[in-house]
Amino acid sequence: MHTPVRWFRRRSSQQLLMAIGAALLLLGGATVIMVPFFWMISTSLKQAGEVYLMPPIWIPSDPQWVNFVTAWTRLNFSLYASNTFLIVSTVMLGTLFSASFAAYGFARLRAPGRDFIFMLLLATLMLPGAVTLVPTYLMFNKIGWVNTFLPLIVPAFFGNAFYVFLMRQFYITIPRELEESAMMDGATIYQIWWHIMLPLSGPVLATIAVFTFVGTYNDFFTPLIYLSDVTMHTIAVALTYFQGSAKIGPKMHLLMAAVSISVIPPLVLFLFAQRYFVRGIVTTGIKG
Amino acid sequence: MVQESRTIESRRLGKRERREAMHAYVFMSPVIIGLLLFTLGPVLVSLGLSFTEYNLLSDPKWIGVENYIKMYGEDLFWQSLRVSAIYSVVSVPLGLVLALFLAILLNQKIRGMYVFRAIYYLPTVISGVGVAMLWRWIFNGQYGVINTLLHNIGIKGPNWLIDEKWALTALIITSIWGVGGTMLIFLAGLQGIPQELMEAAEIDGAGRWQQFRHVTMPLISHVTFFNLVLGIIGALQVFTDAYVITNGGPNNATMFISVYLYRHAFIYLNFGYSAALAWVLFMIVLVLTLLVFRSSPIWVFYESERQGKS
């Protein structure tokens, strides 16, 4: 409890004023950020008759929690949720494995052409996805993978440039002594990676896992082009079909209930991970 | 040249080094295979396809540069370039300035600051289709929040998504709402500035603005650079919002190049033409990125220079 006292003592009144000004500005901005979410929840709890009113009601007179149940069942959310989680979890597994495995080669082992491959990998970060889109689609089409989950999952096992980069930067900071002594004890290089490097990489792996989860969960384009069968859809694609479909038509309260449900998984993950996650990015930093 | 000398060296090197190299390739194999299979291969095939007519039903037919000539004469192509250009030119600088401003505010030492950081970052986590639909509802001309709020202060809001003049503005506002990712990277840069430098500037009598202008700005210029490059690349590829919120309309007022490309590839099945479009987009991104890189010695200040000077 003595920190705030010191905190005040150290500051001039001008600095205190600045801090208060900053806090007020931040509060205003935070309100702007939150209004859309508030509007979403507000709409999702309304009765049909309350949705299109002028002036609008911000707090529904009688919150209709049942809207969530209706949206869930009418839109067959269970199916889309299980499709989505199957894809997301496999993609996470593939991404974590390939990034942590490949990065070890780039960080620790010397081989001709290694740095060239690494630079090439980083250069692909600037390549617009559209360039590889059509040939990749045609390739998956040719081997009969269109309308299966495979085009969404398999590429994850072949290393994402940004995550390989993050893992490599992290490995480089680990002192070599641990690996050297394990080597003396007769461990193979693969055992060293698995038993020594991976357990030390918890924070980076967690960061990559969160990024991958959010990215894959929110991805719309890939499932849109590869999954044409309605029963194969992910939540993201299914939502666009709900909009204006006969199932809910113009019933905005049900659509917003569905949208509210759809943002829960990334929201929960973020709330669990945020302190550590936001701080992780801030303190490790990204050096340009 | 470096590459060559290294190869020769490794040939001279003994068994242990060769073993090490072999293990290195095993570790790098996912990346090597991935690069060949999902990047380099498709890039080349895409270039080849751009000179053909192909619709899945028959074999690709070589037509030379006809796709590019057709594109040149197509009004909608120029419209899509215009839309993407306006969007990028407005949203990227606006986003950078706002992100930096917020990052500076969030870098103040105030208790409970992490709550604000989390709130500002939230839209980056909760993005995607659901939120795009939410924005459609927010911009609803009659019942949407924005026009309600405008109405309260006596302004009659436009019919955002149906009005050609306002639809693109609505999408720019949407993009600004999600500025948290850029902000967080700026914040990381700000926290990397050594405290002594700021204090030294203060002792030398520098005011807030001068500190910002002569200490903060140069020391985070590499972060600005990073955000600028990523911002341009991202803005030129924005798809989900454009597809879900306006789907190119009204009257092609939001026909982003990505939406135009998507339609040619997956609605009209003009795979050759869409590959040509992708290459044009690639060249634009490449030229812009090179320009930013070229300009960087003028305005990006690197740590090594500072150490070199001192």
pLDDT at A244: 67
Residue B284 lies in a domain: yes
- As a whole number of Å, the CA-based R_g of chain B is 25
Question: Do both B261 and B302 map to the same domain?
Answer: yes
Residue B55 lies in a domain: no
Question: Do both B7 and B136 map to the same domain?
Answer: no
Residues in CB range of B244: below 8 A, 6 or more apart: A220, A240, B129, B132, B133, B136
Q: Which residue of A has its CA nearest to B239?
A: A221
pLDDT at A34: 92
pLDDT at B171: 95
Residues in CB range of A94: below 8 A, 6 or more apart: A153, A154, A156, A157
Does residue A82 belong to the interface with chain B, where contact is any CB pair within 8 Å? no
Does residue A228 belong to the interface with chain B, where contact is any CB pair within 8 Å? no
CATH architecture of A75-242: Orthogonal Bundle (1.10)
Does residue B225 belong to the interface with chain A, where contact is any CB pair within 8 Å? yes
Question: Do both B17 and B106 map to the same domain?
Answer: no
Question: Do both B20 and B75 map to the same domain?
Answer: no
Residue contact A132–B46, C-beta within 8 A: yes
* Token reading at B53: 């007519």
Residue B20 lies in a domain: yes
Residue B58 lies in a domain: no
Q: Taking CA B92 as the corner, what is the angle to CA B91 and CA B93, rounded to the nearest 5 degrees?
A: 100
Residue contact B138–A132, C-beta within 8 A: no
In chain A, what are the domain boundaries? 3-64, 75-242
Cite the DSSP H helix spans in A185-251: 189-192, 198-200, 202-218, 221-226, 235-242
Residue B56 lies in a domain: no
pLDDT at A275: 65
- Among A102, A138, A139, the residue with its CB nearest the CB of B28 is A102
pLDDT at A75: 85
Contact in structure between A96 and B17 (CB atoms under 8 Å): no
Question: Do both B12 and B43 map to the same domain?
Answer: yes
Question: Do both B44 and B126 map to the same domain?
Answer: no
Question: What is the domain extent for residue B118?
Answer: 68-309
Does residue B298 belong to the interface with chain A, where contact is any CB pair within 8 Å? no
Per-residue pLDDT of chain A (288 residues; tens, 9 = 90+): 444 444 444 557 777 888 888 889 999 999 999 999 999 999 999 888 888 877 778 888 888 898 899 889 888 899 999 999 999 999 999 999 999 999 999 999 999 999 999 999 999 988 999 999 999 999 999 999 999 999 999 999 998 999 999 999 999 988 888 888 888 888 899 999 999 999 998 888 988 998 899 999 999 999 999 998 989 999 999 998 887 665 555 688 889 999 999 999 999 998 888 766 666 555 554 433
Question: Do both B43 and B72 map to the same domain?
Answer: no
- Report the CATH number that the domain containing residue B99 is assigned in CATH: 1.10.3720.10
On whether ipTM exceeds 0.90, the answer is no
**How many domains does chain B fold into?**
2
pLDDT at B308: 43
Residue B28 lies in a domain: yes
Question: Do both B43 and B143 map to the same domain?
Answer: no
Which mean pLDDT values do the consecutive 10-residue runs of chain B (310 residues) have? 49 78 94 95 95 88 92 94 96 96 87 85 88 90 86 87 92 92 90 82 81 87 90 92 89 94 93 95 93 87 54
Question: Do both B138 and B27 map to the same domain?
Answer: no
